[in-house]
Structure 1
Amino acid sequence: MHEQTDAHVAAQNSPEPVETPAKPKEKARGEQRGRKAVVGSVASALLVLAGAGAVVAAGSVLPPTASSRTVPPAAAAVPAGATQGVCAGPARLLEGTEAGTDPQFSPESATAATSVTGAVLSSAGAVPPSRLAGLDGKTAVELAKSGEKAPEEGAQKLLAGVVAARPVTGPTVLSADPLANQQASAAGAMKFSATDGDLQGTAAANCLRPSNDQWLAGASTTIGRTSVLVLTNASSTPATVNLELFGKAGRIQAPGSRGLLVAPNTTRSVVLAGLAPAEAQLAVHVRSTGGPVAALIQQSTLRGLTPGGLDFIAPGAAPAVRQVMPGVDIQDPAAVDSLLGNAGYEDAGPVLQLTVPGPSDAVVEVKLLGPDGEKALPSGGVVTAKAGAVTEVSLAGVPAGQYTVSASSDVSFVATARMARGLKAGSASDMAWAPSGLRLGSQHVVSVPAGGTRRLVFGVLDTRATITYAAITADGKVHAPASADIAGGTTAAVTVPEKVGGSGVLGYVVSASGDAAYGAVLMYGADGRNDISALGLLPAAAGQETVPVTVGY
């Protein structure tokens, strides 16, 4: 190969081309050397390619260098925040036009009374600093100042800071600071009652934790029915609220339902009849940007000149494939059927409302779990709920008592259940809505306002569950717990005593173990009145949370 190359170079450098004829043997040897050179070149190229492939393959199997490895994000503890519950103000009677979002209200009745009851549990051996204040920040009651110490000896392990039936004239905020970097366990409830006027009856609502996304169902804007959405912003950040409305026929496009501004530390009322008039079944999806808000609906009924009930509709669980409503009170089926036959009393019976926000219909199976097991609905218990609309299912026709309503489907939906008290047409009656609840866990603080008959109602879905409940009294003591073993597929009710240990009962600490269990508080009027109200159980305090933290650029 070298000889051929040198001859070629010599020929290029000579002044004139030289052509030397080759002898036959030399020519044969040259051709043989040429073929060997070509084969050698091909072999060298293959060796080079093979070497390069080996380098690439080696690079793909060798571990990466330390600088290219992925490091999982570290978990950083988040300081516990304050617990806050916004308690609604008194119910007010709407007057004047029902259009617009700045309604006028008439004065309260002579017998109307509104109060707040709440409790904060001790943590790390002390009661967290806590208070009940107005939206302006002015403190009305201090439940604990700098952390009241819990006793170290004896059976008493928990202590509570309490506020018992504190009269209020407007919205308030029950708040508790974290202690030992743990969120406080606290709960409060507002109760309104009146024995005269168009708003006579009893209505109660939990002191709600503000949120940016909430579902409320059960409103009605037909003749004689008044629905007022109350939005409260207890933060220091303005909130912009958008409403999605769902009726019997589907979604409702309502001008004026978007971009509602709620200033910091203020309340704004929205008359729903101005957005969706003549709707017998109305659900509202409340979403806010900026500050979170507490939302509820003041719902009242007037049948001609006869008061037909008052309630505060609270948010229920977010859309899911199963919804559970404990504490649904149903009256005698024959008497209910007779009452529903009167004009204007079409909504005086128990019903389940289903709202499907998505694009697909939901086939929903409904079960009623009573004290002695499941009761069959006359309708069969299976219903198709239309997509983007509200569907009603009658719950009438089962024996009187307290029930847990369980609804399940393969499509997410929202649910709530209505109950009523009063079986005589022309006499004052009352109604209440039981929103879908949450599965019980450990150490839920439950507020139980005073007055009338009060019951804790628990429902268990499948197998068995054990519920423990310890009374909280007005002297700040948390008493020894009692327990109830509840069979699956049943509902059990516990009557709340007026006093324990000589002091009034204003709440409970509730825990559950075993199968999925749900709970609610039912309140009935005193002196034979038809008043009724229901409270769902609030989530237990969250433990210390962590978030993943990554460092990059």
Structure 2
Amino acid sequence: MRNTSTSAEASEAGGSTAVEPPESPAPAKRPAAQGRKALLSGLASAAVVIAGAGAMVAAGSALPQPVSSRAVPAGESAVPAGSSVGVCPGPARLLEGTEAGTDPQFSPESETAASSVTGAVLSAGGVLPASRLSDLSGTTTVEIAKEQARSGVAGGPQELLAGVVAGRSVDQVSVLSADALANQKASAAAAMKFTATDGDLQGTAAANCLQPANDQWLVGASTTVGRTSVLVLTNASTTPATVSLELFGSAGQIQAPGSRGLLVAPGSSRPVVLAGLAPGEGQLSVHVRSAGGPVAAFIQQSVLRGLTPGGVDFIAPGAAPAVRQVMTGVDIQDPGQVAAVTGRSGYEDAGPALQLTVPGPSDAVVEVKLYGRDGQKALPNGGVITAKAGTATEIPLAGVPAGHYTVVASSDVTFVAATRVTRGLQDNRAADVAWAASGARLGSQHVVPVPQGGQRHFVFGALDSRATITYSAITADGKVRAASTADIAGGTTASIAIPDKAEDSDVVGYVVSASGDAAYGALLLQQDGRDDVSSLAFLSAAAGQETVPVTLSY
């Protein structure tokens, strides 16, 4: 949000007025001595007047001269805290037909498909902010907490509580919202999880419910044969949004008719088939910019290799362009088996890879490092490549031992990045794919929703030196349990299994904080006995009350 300052400028005008003695009437006849006395008295009075006028002029010249502008120190103005809003994608669905253009129609999902939302809202001062899960029309489906008065809340430290949504089934886009409390933005987060064990969309796809924005980057799309990528734009605000897309492929920026001026009405979603804008692209990044209302953007992507499902995922926006991008929650399988799979025709994208895009005019020299449980692992190609300006570039991450990793990419110019994660090594058996988006450095009190079912792991990466992570389970009964601590050495990645229950109550989330050196975190989801995989970067923690400088000028 851009703040506009106003200013006022004061200007003073100074000067002097000439004083002339008044014209005297004709004198009456009188004695000479008396006339001389009157004349001397008049001259003395005139001298006093002239002296006074001179003093005024001298005083005026001694005053500060007027200036055209005057510097006024910038003051700080508090910005009222707004509601916390997270928009969750709807269930994954197959496209129906291949009509020309970019507006799709969807067919029903498989019989075993299930979609659910899990979320949590933290208390402030012992009071839960008014919060709810609703659909795009604003109809409440789950009331998490009602508005409460703070007058009855006792002073002093209060027990941290949570309002929760535990595995709520959904069949459309949903919105988690929490009102500000005491002019502080609520700490709240949710995630949507889709699973299917039959049909073309077999696998697990999960995504954080995102705060809508006016500028975001999505990396990892593909529009080659057998790959379906649908960009879904959702406007949960009351203001119309006009969206423009910038597309970057392996050969450079793509000028696509129909990519500008896409209108998304308030309380609606608009899907866009990316193959209609950029067909045949193996690496595709999308820059989404909106004027008016902010939007939430996801790419539903699925892979079909012949008749064999190759996975489904929701590609979410990552960090803004920067000279360093960090992705954790990257699961890599046995390098020998990965090489055998990716060597087959049609399976070239069945292995792990880093994909990055340089939006600026200068090429980027990028250094890639992989941090595993035992420290840094060397890439076979040395880990240094040159990425052409304006293009999407893919860097294979094969050749390192199996395990959980943190990927760090650094360059001399800004870029965006994401890492592909794959599971499945057997012929003619359904595999899965996920994209680990670049994340933000961990701070204090991140709310991390944990979808229920399957294997769930925290994956934490510390970059240069030691970091300490504290994490407290949020359970379905609304309690925040005692904190656990993990001490992570610099240049390593730690993986922590998440239990199903804490003190006989289902675990639905965590409160995570970090101290020490820069640390990053992600949630890795898998399924027992299946090759399902999904990776969710931690969202930024809720900020305190913000202030902006207000400058006074003319």
Q: Same fold (TM over 0.5)?
A: yes
SS at match of 1:217: strand
Partner of 1:95: 96
Partner of 2:208: 206
Partner of 2:238: 236
Query: Which amino acid counterpart does residue 91 of structure 2 have in structure 1?
Result: P
- 1:367-446 to 2 correspondences below 5 Å: 367-446=369-448
Query: Which amino acid counterpart does residue 142 of structure 1 have in structure 2?
Result: E
Instruction: Tell me the CA shift for residue 113 of structure 1.
Output: 0.4
Cα distance per residue 1:236-267 (max 9 Å; x no partner):
00000000000001111100000000000000
Q: Which blocks of at least 5 consecutive residues in structure 2 are unaligned? A: 1-57
Query: Which amino acid counterpart does residue 500 of structure 2 have in structure 1?
Result: E
Counterpart contact for 2:72–2:552, Cα < 8 Å: no
Query: Which amino acid counterpart does residue 548 of structure 2 have in structure 1?
Result: V
In 2, the alpha carbon distance for the partners of 1:274 and 1:375 equals: 40
Cα distance per residue 1:82-132 (max 9 Å; x no partner):
000001110010121154232111111100000000000001221100000
Partner of 2:11: none
| 1:169 is the counterpart of 2:168 | no
In 1, the alpha carbon distance for the partners of 2:213 and 2:347 equals: 35
| 1:132 is the counterpart of 2:171 | no
Counterpart contact for 1:222–1:280, Cα < 8 Å: yes
How many correspondences in the alignment? 494
Instruction: Tell me the CA shift for residue 224 of structure 1.
Output: 0.3
SS at match of 1:481: strand
In 2, the alpha carbon distance for the partners of 1:133 and 1:397 equals: 46
Partner of 2:346: 344
Counterpart contact for 1:124–1:179, Cα < 8 Å: no
- Which of 494, 498, 511 is the matching residue for 1:496? 498
| 1:529 is the counterpart of 2:530 | yes
Q: Quick one: percent identity of the two aligned structures?
A: 72
Partner of 2:72: 71
Partner of 2:83: 82
SS at match of 2:338: helix
Instruction: Tell me the CA shift for residue 552 of structure 1.
Output: 5.8
- 1:156-195 to 2 correspondences below 5 Å: 157-195=159-197
Q: CA RMSD for the aligned pairs?
A: 2.0
Counterpart contact for 1:323–1:414, Cα < 8 Å: yes
Counterpart contact for 1:303–1:344, Cα < 8 Å: yes
SS at match of 1:335: helix
Partner of 1:12: none
Partner of 2:20: none
- 1:504-543 to 2 correspondences below 5 Å: 504-526=506-528, 528-543=529-544
Counterpart contact for 2:327–2:408, Cα < 8 Å: yes
Counterpart contact for 2:125–2:157, Cα < 8 Å: no
Instruction: Tell me the CA shift for residue 546 of structure 1.
Output: 1.3
Instruction: Tell me the CA shift for residue 148 of structure 1.
Output: 9.2
Instruction: Tell me the CA shift for residue 549 of structure 1.
Output: 3.0
Partner of 1:50: none
- Rate the CA distance shift 1:385–1:98 in 2: closer, same or farther, 3 A: farther
In 2, the alpha carbon distance for the partners of 1:148 and 1:426 equals: 60
Query: Which amino acid counterpart does residue 440 of structure 1 have in structure 2?
Result: L
In 2, the alpha carbon distance for the partners of 1:338 and 1:375 equals: 21
| 1:109 is the counterpart of 2:110 | yes
Counterpart contact for 2:91–2:115, Cα < 8 Å: yes
Counterpart contact for 1:98–1:273, Cα < 8 Å: no
Q: Which blocks of at least 5 consecutive residues in structure 1 are unaligned? A: 1-54
SS at match of 2:482: coil
In 1, the alpha carbon distance for the partners of 2:242 and 2:434 equals: 29
- Rate the CA distance shift 1:331–1:153 in 2: closer, same or farther, 3 A: farther
Counterpart contact for 1:218–1:282, Cα < 8 Å: yes
Query: Which amino acid counterpart does residue 288 of structure 2 have in structure 1?
Result: V
- Rate the CA distance shift 1:551–1:336 in 2: closer, same or farther, 3 A: same
In 2, the alpha carbon distance for the partners of 1:552 and 1:135 equals: 43
Instruction: Tell me the CA shift for residue 74 of structure 1.
Output: 2.2
Counterpart contact for 2:130–2:144, Cα < 8 Å: yes
Instruction: Tell me the CA shift for residue 354 of structure 1.
Output: 1.2
- Rate the CA distance shift 1:543–1:346 in 2: closer, same or farther, 3 A: same
Cα distance per residue 1:418-469 (max 9 Å; x no partner):
0100101211000100011100000000011001000000000001100000
Counterpart contact for 2:102–2:275, Cα < 8 Å: no
TM-score (norm 1): 0.87
- Rate the CA distance shift 1:252–1:300 in 2: closer, same or farther, 3 A: same
In 2, the alpha carbon distance for the partners of 1:342 and 1:383 equals: 25
Counterpart contact for 1:461–1:517, Cα < 8 Å: yes
- Which of 220, 227, 230 is the matching residue for 2:222? 220
Counterpart contact for 1:128–1:148, Cα < 8 Å: no
Moved more, 402-411 or 97-106: 97-106
Partner of 1:247: 249
- Rate the CA distance shift 1:110–1:148 in 2: closer, same or farther, 3 A: farther
Query: Which amino acid counterpart does residue 524 of structure 1 have in structure 2?
Result: Q
Instruction: Tell me the CA shift for residue 157 of structure 1.
Output: 2.3
Partner of 2:288: 286
In 2, the alpha carbon distance for the partners of 1:520 and 1:227 equals: 24
SS at match of 2:76: strand
| 1:479 is the counterpart of 2:491 | no
Instruction: Tell me the CA shift for residue 341 of structure 1.
Output: 1.6
In 2, the alpha carbon distance for the partners of 1:497 and 1:155 equals: 29
Counterpart contact for 2:193–2:204, Cα < 8 Å: yes
Instruction: Tell me the CA shift for residue 547 of structure 1.
Output: 2.0
Query: Which amino acid counterpart does residue 549 of structure 2 have in structure 1?
Result: P
- Rate the CA distance shift 1:66–1:247 in 2: closer, same or farther, 3 A: closer
In 1, the alpha carbon distance for the partners of 2:521 and 2:99 equals: 36
Counterpart contact for 1:132–1:172, Cα < 8 Å: yes
SS at match of 1:187: strand
Q: Which structure has the larger Rg over C-alpha atoms?
A: 1
Instruction: Tell me the CA shift for residue 152 of structure 1.
Output: 7.6
